[in-house]
């Protein structure tokens, strides 16, 4: 729509905490509470150790994440799109909640992949995570690929793996093209996923950071918001929508 700025949002774990999905690196994050849990999503450990895989599948089964629903922040982004504002979301989250809230899937770049699908580490076949979790619930503690017998894993980027260079390239292009870049609920410490914030600022975008804790990009931001995301982001996006 003429006159409407292209708005890019980089969303991190803080956007989904109101949906009951805990963050990982915050003051009460999973990795801080249980450093051993990080092995469950580390590629080297996951592929080498069946016990790690069993624990990982139990964690997925019991996490509650598959049943999580979008919250006010996710809905506000979808409403921004419906208001006719060009919007792109670069998300560090793997929960798929932006799409569940109604945002067009083609406008979401999942930098770290998606936990709503599984894929085989051997043949690459993919399927709904719900199908794999049903097998776990039925008693398969480390369900193998039914096509080749290989190791099943979430379609996420695990620790020790590189991000998809195609997705990263698309994210950089969005960051260069946008007029407004909002980093919300992200520590902006995990590279290269946090990089687009700096790219956007370098190319003249208005940089807004909505996060409870300080980030390395605060001094480059045009505006820093410390208010709760569930109220701050909808208010911010309503102003942009006009």
Catalytic site residue from 74, 98, 112, 203:
112
d(CA 11, CA 74): 10
Q: Annotated catalytic, 112?
A: yes
CATH architecture of 26-62+117-156: 2-Layer Sandwich (3.30)
Q: What is the pTM of this model?
A: 0.91
State the Cα–Cα distance between residues 57 and 100, nearest whole angstrom. Answer: 23
Tell me the CA distances in angstroms from 218 to 24, 165, 198, one per residue in order.
Answer: 21, 27, 11
Q: Specify the DSSP element, H or E, that contains 156.
A: strand 152-156
Tens-of-pLDDT digits for all 242 residues of the chain? Answer: 456 899 999 999 999 999 988 776 555 556 556 667 889 999 999 999 999 999 999 988 887 777 899 999 999 999 999 999 999 999 999 999 999 999 999 999 999 999 999 999 999 999 999 999 999 999 999 999 999 999 999 999 999 999 999 999 999 999 999 999 999 999 998 888 789 999 999 999 999 999 999 999 999 999 999 999 999 999 999 999 98
What fold characterizes domain 1-21+69-112+162-242?
Rossmann fold (3.40.50)
Distance from C-alpha of 226 to C-alpha of 65, rounded to nearest angstrom: 26
SS3 125: coil
Q: Where are the domain boundaries for CATH 3.30.1600.10 in the chain?
A: 26-62+117-156
Q: Please check whether residue 123 is in contact with residue 147, taking contact to mean a CB–CB distance below 8 angstroms.
A: yes
What is the rounded distance in angstroms from the CA atom of residue 186 to the CA atom of residue 212? Answer: 9
């Amino acid at each position: 729509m003429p006159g409407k700025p292209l708005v890019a949002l980089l969303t991190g774990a803080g956007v989904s905490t109101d949906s009951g999905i805990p963050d990982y690196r915050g003051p009460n994050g999973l990795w801080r509470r249980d450093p051993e849990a990080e092995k469950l999503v580390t590629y080297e450990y996951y592929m080498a150790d069946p016990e790690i895989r069993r624990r990982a599948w139990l964690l997925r089964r019991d996490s509650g994440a598959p049943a999580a629903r979008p919250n006010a922040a996710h809905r506000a982004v979808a409403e921004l799109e419906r208001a006719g504002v060009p919007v792109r979301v670069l998300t560090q989250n793997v929960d798929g909640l932006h799409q569940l809230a109604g945002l067009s899937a083609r406008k979401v770049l999942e930098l770290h992949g998606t936990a709503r699908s599984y894929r085989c580490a051997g043949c690459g076949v993919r399927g709904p995570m719900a199908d794999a979790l049903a097998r776990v619930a039925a008693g398969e503690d480390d369900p193998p690929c039914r096509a080749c017998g290989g190791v099943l894993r979430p379609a996420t980027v695990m620790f020790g793996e590189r991000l998809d260079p195609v997705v990263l390239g698309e994210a950089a292009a969005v960051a260069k093209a946008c007029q407004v870049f909002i980093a919300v609920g992200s520590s902006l410490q995990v590279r290269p996923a946090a990089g687009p914030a700096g790219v956007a600022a370098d190319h003249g975008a208005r940089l807004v950071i909505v996060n409870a804790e300080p980030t390395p990009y605060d001094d480059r931001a045009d505006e820093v918001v410390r208010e709760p995301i569930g109220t701050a982001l909808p208010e911010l996006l309503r102003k942009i929508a006009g």
